[in-house]
A and B are shown apart, each in its own frame.
Chain A
């Protein structure tokens, strides 16, 4: 198309072509840099003779993926990760849904300071918390295990309950700490979305005789659905990829999740099964990539909370 402002003389066409070439060159180089590390993991996952090095496979096999299903620890890591991160995401959504709605609607004088405080909470670097959080978790752990022991004297029941409800080396502790870490961003996202829903809608529903619960179910939740999607996706991506909390609070093999299970398998330098680990890495990465593809369009909306998704 010919622009009206600029005459399409030879000189501008030349610089136009040169700058287009520069644009493509830059983008191709950056893309290659971004893609490079993936070649190895994708090829090795299907390579019968997978190794640490990038190589073109002689043949293609899906055995590594079948072996995962047969491998007890591989299956357990996946199930533990799905269970813990899934529960934490769900809990984050429920708590942030209520919290974000309340923060959006409340007229208390401390609303603004509280919102600023939540930004600061979001900024706290998790590694700075490990010592005091470890102490808190030990304390809660002792309390809950005393409670379990006082509720039942059956040792088998105690072991099961302790596995589920322990704060150190138990499911509950990991779920709660992951939830707490995701809450500041999730609350900000939900608050922003509820801010955009006029209060009139709720009042109109109330005037039409809807109960509080009906208003929430049929008016608020449908309207805030994109907010829930954004908050849930970011909570999932962050908790799914987190390495520090599992490192701190899991030790027994039954509780191992993907990041730590893989890390420890990788540390056994003499006996690394690259086929197994690369297939597992692909399985571990896929949910995060899919979630990120959906979350991407929300990313710019989370900046107002001063936080990276």
Chain B
């Protein structure tokens, strides 16, 4: 220590300073992520004989997984949920809000605050609010709304479970899309629009030929972030439906939870977790490479 140069001491100090944070992330995220791989090769369980002494079973969990219709169902549900809410719902409504707020409209900050509100609500409360919205019988809020159009009262969470959670997540995420896409719109130089107008371009032409191409990097960033975060959702769907009825809203996170802590099969749950980890890491690496994130 004492014969180090000033600079070497400083560099050493930096390592000491970052150690506690790195240790915590290593212990609770990085190590568990790798540990999931080794657990997925065992028959570990919460109850019974395997709970005392789990043994190595090779790839048996994975071969079971790939022939398990419930796993494929969960993967399908997750895909529809991500595309329906993040790629389509949030994006379309968020982009529309961002575009409209670019115009010289009044009460901008009020519209902005209202659209941001759902994003701030804790997951548990989201479930709570929407269970009331979807309440069955003629007094349910949504049922009263659709009654204006002559639609019979529905049991929304039973008849349209997947659609329901897509609507809820769309509702929650419009703000994020709007904020990100607004920052993208703001970075398009104004004189391009002026020039196009002088040349006689219509609004539709301007949107498809200028706005959309210029927004591509932002749209890509949005698609990546929202896909990854939607893929990781748990509490929002769990508080609404706990994966039911009949596995129809069992997104991957809930499938892992149910297999591990309701069916008590930790090894099998870990195998599903490995699939989920691999998918998100592949997405992450594509993102880091494609965007060449500035460090």
Residues of A in contact with B (beta carbons under 8 Å apart):
5-6, 15, 19-20, 22-24, 26-27, 30-31, 33-41, 52-55, 95-96, 98-99, 101-103, 105-108, 111-112, 115-116, 118-121, 123-136, 176-177, 179-181, 183-184, 187, 237, 240-244, 247-248, 258-260, 262-263, 266, 277, 281, 284-285, 288-289, 291-293, 296, 299-300, 303-308
In this complex, which of B180, B203, B293 has the most chain A Cβ atoms within 10 angstroms of its Cβ? B293
Q: What is the minimal beta-carbon distance from B111 to any residue of chain A, in angstroms?
A: 5
Q: Is the C-beta of B254 less than 8 angstroms from some C-beta in chain A?
A: yes
Task: Tell whether, in the assembled complex, residue B238 and residue A106 are in contact, meaning their CB atoms are under 8 Å apart.
Answer: no
Measured between beta carbons, the chain B residues less than 8 angstroms from A181 are 28-29
CB contact under 8 A between A125 and B100, given known A27-B105, A111-B295: no
Q: Is the C-beta of B35 less than 8 angstroms from some C-beta in chain A?
A: yes
CB contact under 8 A between A30 and B93, given known A124-B33, A129-B273: yes
- A177 CA / B121 CA spacing, docked (Å): 22
CB contact under 8 A between A103 and B35, given known A26-B96, A30-B115: no
Measured between beta carbons, the chain B residues less than 8 angstroms from A177 are 28
Q: List 16 A-B contacts (CB under 8 A).
A: A33-B93, A38-B117, A40-B133, A95-B24, A106-B14, A111-B295, A116-B288, A124-B33, A125-B276, A127-B254, A129-B28, A130-B256, A262-B125, A285-B121, A303-B183, A306-B284
Task: Tell whether, in the assembled complex, residue A19 and residue B133 are in contact, meaning their CB atoms are under 8 Å apart.
Answer: no
- A149 CA / B280 CA spacing, docked (Å): 42
Contact partner of A31 among B103, B114, B261, CB < 8 A? B114
- A187 CA / B22 CA spacing, docked (Å): 10
Task: Tell whether, in the assembled complex, residue B253 and residue A127 are in contact, meaning their CB atoms are under 8 Å apart.
Answer: yes
Q: What is the minimal beta-carbon distance from A202 to any residue of chain B, in angstroms?
A: 10
- A53 CA / B253 CA spacing, docked (Å): 30
Task: Tell whether, in the assembled complex, residue A30 and residue B141 are in contact, meaning their CB atoms are under 8 Å apart.
Answer: no
Q: What is the minimal beta-carbon distance from B131 to any residue of chain A, in angstroms?
A: 8
Main secondary structure of the interface of A (DSSP, over half): helix
Task: Tell whether, in the assembled complex, residue A243 and residue B235 are in contact, meaning their CB atoms are under 8 Å apart.
Answer: yes
Task: Tell whether, in the assembled complex, residue B28 and residue A176 are in contact, meaning their CB atoms are under 8 Å apart.
Answer: yes
Task: Tell whether, in the assembled complex, residue A277 and residue B25 are in contact, meaning their CB atoms are under 8 Å apart.
Answer: no
Task: Tell whether, in the assembled complex, residue A132 and residue B231 are in contact, meaning their CB atoms are under 8 Å apart.
Answer: no
Measured between beta carbons, the chain A residues less than 8 angstroms from B270 are 131-132
Chain A's closest residue to B182 (CB) is A300
Contact partner of A292 among B103, B116, B229, B252, CB < 8 A? B116
CB contact under 8 A between A306 and B224, given known A27-B105, A133-B28: yes
